[in-house]
Amino acid sequence: MNRGSEILLVAPHSVNSIRHGVERPADAGTGGLAELLGAKTDVSVLTFARTAPSWETWNTREDDFTRILRDQLGGVRLVVVLQGMADRHGVDICVGLGPDPSELTDHASKVLLRAFNGYEASENFPFTGEPEYTVTSFTQKTGPATAVQVDVAAVHRDFAASAKSGVRAVARFTSALTSLQHHLGSD
């Protein structure tokens, strides 16, 4: 949903996808989390509604998601790519800066990590957002917007298993997104 904000929250793995002929299961809960955060903070949101078609590279990818993403990149300054990660990585949240970080990505990372103070939070570990197939890399290379990749442990996305943990994560994300909106509005 395009709310006209300077932040676009993207959940690229909210449904199963196929890349290089291999099906990748959805990052459970990321789509719903993105939609909830968008509604609470009035930021724009892009998620999948059906299985993503098979694709190899961004240069050859042509689907509704890619078209909408490209269309929205000109109207936003920051893309926050919300993804899931397994709890086995040992961190609750990871902020990946991508292949071409900027002052804004560095600021966004600091805001997100500060919002998750008290959690096991990391920057660029275990995921950097650098591989060329990531939305983070695509956004930074396409411009004019920049992006950060935020990987969230399963325990903070599974409201059925742990509503308390999920509610706390939503509150932290809401705080971070609100702070980032204020920062972008003051530039």
Whether 1 maps to a domain, the answer reads no
Residue environment code for 145-172, b if the CB has 16+ CB neighbours within 10 A, otherwise e: bbbbbbbbbbebbbbeeeeebbeebbeb
Whether 2 maps to a domain, the answer reads no
Q: Which pLDDT tens digit goes with each residue over 71-122?
A: 999 999 999 999 999 999 999 999 999 999 999 999 999 999 999 999 999 9
- Per-residue HEC secondary structure of 26-59 comes to CCCCHHHHHHHHHHHHCCEEEECCCCCCCECCCC
The total number of structural domains that make up the chain: 1
For residue 187, pLDDT beyond 70: no
CATH of the domain at 114: 3.40.630.100
Whether 64 maps to a domain, the answer reads yes
Whether 71 maps to a domain, the answer reads yes
Quick one: pLDDT at residue 56? 74
Residue 128's domain spans which residues?
A: 7-186
Contact 131, 58 (CB under 8 A): no
